[in-house]
Structure 1
Amino acid sequence: MSVQHALTDFLENAQSDVSQLATFSEHIPDEWVQSAAALSSQATIRRRRLPNDMVLWLVVGMAFFRNEPIAEVARRLNICADGLADEALLAKSALTQARQRLGKEALKWLFRQCAQRWGAERYPDDNWQGLQVFAIDGALFRTQENTELREHFGSGNTVGPRQTPYPVLRLVTLMNVRSHIIMDADISPYRKGEIPLAQPFIDSLPNNSVTLLDKGFYGANLLMNITLGGSNRHWLLPAKKGVVYRVVDARDSNDKYIEMTVSPQARKKNPDLPATWQVRAVTYEVANKEKTVFTSLPKEQYSAEDVAALYHERWEIELGYRDIKSSMQHNAMTLRSKTVELVYQELWGLLLGYNLVRREASQAAIAHGRAPNEISFKYACQYIASQLRVMSKALSPGNTPKRLQALRGDLSVLFIEKRPRPSRPRAVKISKTRYPVNHKASPLK
């Protein structure tokens, strides 16, 4: 039986057994939800029929039902303080006003409160040679096209007359590589770079850890802060082309120490940086091509082969972005909100929804003696979305995080076998244009 068929059969059986819903565990304490709701941009004394705590769950629910209108999401989750909501209460304008009252800070605070707690949780065999493994990377999301969003977020090629068809925002995250839970995140307009967004994450890194990055994060200030900001904290990233260095230890040409000059720009931002710094350069071969990575991991403890193999785990954060954009957003490239405040709110809710799935998947994996990243995110997300449909008839949206423990035994159908990442040649992306691309155009003859 295929995973998809097993999942379908289980969901059909679950729809007839709502009585077990009361045994679900609590992921998010009620006091966290109330604290987040209290951060709404518009304070109110009276108890509304669409209160902030309910609207908060509506925004999270939007992450699980991307292809459905927001009014339908509200109806499914029964977003109302007084039982079933009427048509006027679920009107598009009423829901938009409720989301505007809530604002973005509530979702942002709740995401970070949960992320810091869940991302630091330990699981069996969740380390690499005694070190926890994290990754930092960025991704782009596009928004609806209007003047307010374009002026705030900007887009590609904004210096010249040509621009991307949609405004674009930048997301940078810190992920626990073994559980795939996002520990921290920040969102900004497109024009802000990844390194400034990642800099505050350094304080969140625990001792005895290694952080994987791509070459876009190459910078002495960021990397040295990782090692100097804690005990036994290390980093690993691919070598950047054109870097000028001096070989310090050349006894092994494929595993050597090099010395580089810290740029004047970096020392201007941080006068405490030294004039030079040393890093370890490990060279290895992949598909008959030489690759080099820089790292702070010392030779005495970590072999070149192990370091080279570890770097390939950086792909796990790319899989996390794929899960968000493909499994949760159903490949819808554009966020649905149309104002700056609600775009931020929607994306924070999307990240919180992603972490809810990942944490439940991690808990289920441990119950079955498996690794957290061995559960199919796609099917786990479908499973939880289906449960939300069923459970909304019996429980209020505020109880949404309490519904999952009793069904963990049935999540065994969601395990997948880990396969090595296929090696494909890099492809040149299509050039940016202000005109939409017609994918249905007839081929030239």
Structure 2
Amino acid sequence: MSVQQDLLDLGDLFNFCDLSTFTQNIPLEWVASALDLSSQATIRRRRLPADQVLWLVLGMALFRDEPVHEVARRLNICAQGLASDHLLARSGVTEARKRLGADPVEWLFRKTGTQWGAERYDDDAWHDLQVFAVDGALLRTPDTPELRDHFGSGNTPSERQTPFPMLRLVALMNVRSHVILDAQLSPYRRSEMRLADEFLQQIPDHSVTLFDKGFWGAELLSSLSSAGSNRHWLIPAKKGLVCEEVSRYSQHDRLVRMKVSPQARKRNPALPSHWEVREVSYEIQGKVKTVMTSLPVDTYNAKAVAKLYQERWEIELGFRDIKSSMQQNAMTLRSKKVELIYQEVWGLLLAYNVIRREASQAAVAFGRAPSDIRFKPACQYIAVQLIVMAAANPISATGRRLAELRAGIGGLFLDHRPRPSRPRTVKISKTRFPVDRKAAPLK
């Protein structure tokens, strides 16, 4: 039996109805504002009121290996005094989630991203600039006609489509703390670049944002630099990019001029016919890589710029934490209705931010960087232990409990010792037929 299961069994001893664990990071006034957006309001005293269903959505993200109704039962998600000792009907849990809708969960996630995403920690800046990253990921949904019609899916070389409908996620992440500032969800067919346009204004001033090459475009990058103060970007050069050299700063550093595409100028007539960007080249594992940036040459040298771009992979690690550690590598999301799919994913992102925020606070207490925390054990430890500790006596000694919690995270830091070299070897290919190693070779 897993450690998570053992700790969940403590729900039989403690009353989790209050779930005040999350109020240490999520103030109650945020919750009240979020619930004002609920799709259905009622004065009826329900067994599953909206505020408790909101915590249930977080519990779904934290305990992916438990069915939804079992999460509700174990955490005692119900109004106090309303027969909480009886099992909840599965249909009642589903109907309660429908009444809540996706908007309150989305609002609460965005609130946490705005408040926590731009927080600064000691030594988390790069040359006095905060570092952010933008990238996209795909999440699979169950294969139902309703979900396939709404979300769509990718095409295969044949006329068939991919086995599952897919939801597109594009996120803006703080590279150093891994907290997600903002995100956009959409059906599969919508462009990642157009989704990223919607949260560029959320990027703080005095920052540099790292992009994947799929976000290359004069409109997006120019608007990022011009919309704020001292906001810069860094992105790899597209293959076959046509440009002319304006000036050369060093052997691997120069200023180039490129044409702005007619499509971009049609969408934004304010764009000029040409634009100038800095091009930095560097060698890694025997291959020459090239990145484009708005960072000025007189302040940021080429070597530092090339090294900075390696941090773009931090957002990939964040997506891995969500899919692998939180979702347990599940093939699809849980929900089977469009509105509940959006609610589930916003809850997943909200729970991720709560865990990252608490892990960041613990890292600071130990004088370490927030990204040094190993996410998977932190997720298990924080999601369960913090609930148990706060629910046992949610009012008193909160500061002491948080101190004890963060003290327990001391063993969850990454080990930066060099790993032993293990050269890759070619292994026998898998086959469903038995292999007779004594058989004579074919002639």
TM-score by length of 1: 0.87
Match of 2:139 in 1: 141
Match of 1:430 in 2: none
Is the contact between residue 335 and residue 343 of structure 1 (CA under 8 Å) also seen in structure 2?
yes
Is the contact between residue 139 and residue 168 of structure 2 (CA under 8 Å) also seen in structure 1?
yes
Q: 1:254 to 1:32 in 2, by over 3 A?
A: same
Q: Does 1:442 align with 2:441?
A: no
Rounded Cα–Cα distance in structure 2 between residues aligned with 1:319 and 1:346: 21
Is the contact between residue 24 and residue 404 of structure 1 (CA under 8 Å) also seen in structure 2?
no
Correspondence 1:149-188 to 2 at 5 A: 149-157=147-155, 161-188=159-186
Q: Does 1:353 align with 2:343?
A: no
Correspondence 1:65-104 to 2 at 5 A: 65-83=63-81, 85-87=84-86, 90-104=88-102
Deviation at 1:441, TM superposition (A): 7.0
Structure of higher RCO (CA pairs closer than 8 Å, 6+ residues apart): 1
Rounded Cα–Cα distance in structure 1 between residues aligned with 2:140 and 2:21: 39
Q: Which amino acid aligns with 2:308?
A: L
Deviation at 1:48, TM superposition (A): 1.1
Deviation at 1:391, TM superposition (A): 4.8
Q: 1:420 to 1:136 in 2, by over 3 A?
A: farther
Deviation at 1:413, TM superposition (A): 1.2
Is the contact between residue 168 and residue 189 of structure 1 (CA under 8 Å) also seen in structure 2?
yes
Q: Aligned-pair RMSD on alpha carbons?
A: 3.1
- Partner of 2:184: helix, strand, or coil? strand
Q: Which amino acid aligns with 1:292?
A: T
TM-superposition CA deviations, 1:144-194 (whole Å, max 9, x none): 010000000000018972200000010000000000000000100000010
TM-superposition CA deviations, 1:84-122 (whole Å, max 9, x none): 62545x111000000000000010000001110010211
Is the contact between residue 117 and residue 179 of structure 2 (CA under 8 Å) also seen in structure 1?
yes
Q: Does 1:256 align with 2:246?
A: no
Q: Which amino acid aligns with 2:200?
A: I
Correspondence 1:288-367 to 2 at 5 A: 288-367=286-365
Q: Does 1:246 align with 2:244?
A: yes
Rounded Cα–Cα distance in structure 1 between residues aligned with 2:386 and 2:270: 52
Deviation at 1:363, TM superposition (A): 0.4
- Partner of 1:250: helix, strand, or coil? strand
Q: 1:229 to 1:256 in 2, by over 3 A?
A: same
Deviation at 1:319, TM superposition (A): 0.4
With 144-153 and 379-388 compared, the bigger mean Cα shift is at 379-388
- Partner of 2:250: helix, strand, or coil? coil
Deviation at 1:416, TM superposition (A): 1.4
Is the contact between residue 37 and residue 106 of structure 1 (CA under 8 Å) also seen in structure 2?
yes
Percentage of identical aligned residues: 62
Contiguous gaps of at least 5 residues in structure 1: 1-6, 425-439
Is the contact between residue 23 and residue 406 of structure 1 (CA under 8 Å) also seen in structure 2?
no
Q: 1:246 to 1:181 in 2, by over 3 A?
A: same
Deviation at 1:253, TM superposition (A): 3.7
Deviation at 1:18, TM superposition (A): 8.4
Match of 1:106 in 2: 104
Is the contact between residue 374 and residue 418 of structure 1 (CA under 8 Å) also seen in structure 2?
no
- Partner of 1:243: helix, strand, or coil? coil
Correspondence 1:187-202 to 2 at 5 A: 187-202=185-200
Could you tell me which of 214, 227, 230 is aligned with 1:229? 227
TM-score by length of 2: 0.87
Rounded Cα–Cα distance in structure 1 between residues aligned with 2:420 and 2:337: 40
Q: Which amino acid aligns with 1:299?
A: V
Q: Which amino acid aligns with 1:280?
A: R
Q: Which amino acid aligns with 2:243?
A: Y
Rounded Cα–Cα distance in structure 2 between residues aligned with 1:337 and 1:381: 22
Is the contact between residue 144 and residue 167 of structure 1 (CA under 8 Å) also seen in structure 2?
yes
Contiguous gaps of at least 5 residues in structure 2: 423-429, 436-443
Rounded Cα–Cα distance in structure 2 between residues aligned with 1:24 and 1:73: 16
Rounded Cα–Cα distance in structure 2 between residues aligned with 1:393 and 1:26: 12
Number of equivalenced pairs = 417
Q: 1:149 to 1:166 in 2, by over 3 A?
A: same
Please identify the structure whose Cα radius of gyration is greater. Answer: 2
TM-superposition CA deviations, 1:335-381 (whole Å, max 9, x none): 01000000000000000000000000000111111110111111110
Q: 1:119 to 1:22 in 2, by over 3 A?
A: closer
With 198-207 and 131-140 compared, the bigger mean Cα shift is at 198-207
Is the contact between residue 130 and residue 206 of structure 2 (CA under 8 Å) also seen in structure 1?
yes
Is the contact between residue 131 and residue 208 of structure 1 (CA under 8 Å) also seen in structure 2?
yes
